[in-house]
Amino acid sequence: MRVGIGYDSHRFESGRPLVLGGVHLPDHPGLKGHSDGDAVAHALIDALRGASALGDIGQHFPDTDPRWQGADSMALLAATVRVIEERNYQVVNADVTIVTESPRISPWVPEMAERIAELLRIAGSCISIKGKTNEGMGWIGRGEGLAAMAVVLLDQIGDIDTLHASIRTGG
């Protein structure tokens, strides 16, 4: 079993759609970023990479690379899941906290959990998403942006020789 943590934050920018966990939350400024700014997907990617000690999102999807301009972050999350599966890991559960003054997250939680569970290939009941405010304090309290945190647990399947062989062959 291996645990990983991920953190991400983005500034709000009007004129962009707000996308969190692959779900479009209407009538609210979106998140500024090279990709679609989906902080939930980015935190999950870093948690998966952290649990499997595979570096961070910036090393694999650098924001200087034009390929990731406007990228669908859920596609990057799916690609990350494939990488950890190649190393014989499977996700056990994921726990996400979104910290923002607005919009309210709770109405969108079931849809986000469904999208994320599908990509992580686990049951929806193994995904937890919580929204909370920062009680008006600091940059989040002023509504300048939002932050997302994610913790994931991975289970390693197969024996260690199979694992090492799969790493050597890249598959």
Residue 46 as a binder of Zn ion (CB under 5 A): the answer is: no
Residue 8 as a binder of Zn ion (CB under 5 A): the answer is: yes
> Which residue's beta carbon is nearest to the bound Zn ion?
42
In the complex with Zn ion, the residue whose CB is nearer, 9 or 88, is: 9
Residue 73 near residue 38, CB atoms below 8 Å: yes
Residue 49 as a binder of Zn ion (CB under 5 A): the answer is: no
Q: Which of residues 82-111 bind Zn ion (CB under 5 A)?
A: none
Gap between the Cα atoms of 77 and 160, Å rounded: 25
Residue 36 as a binder of Zn ion (CB under 5 A): the answer is: no
Work out which of 20, 23, 42, 94 binds Zn ion, going by CB under 5 A: 42
The distance of closest approach from Cβ of residue 61 to Zn ion in the complex, given in angstroms and rounded to an integer, is 10
Residue 68 near residue 31, CB atoms below 8 Å: no
The distance of closest approach from Cβ of residue 68 to Zn ion in the complex, given in angstroms and rounded to an integer, is 11
In the complex with Zn ion, the residue whose CB is nearer, 8 or 30, is: 8
- Binding site residues, Zn ion, CB under 5 A: 8, 42
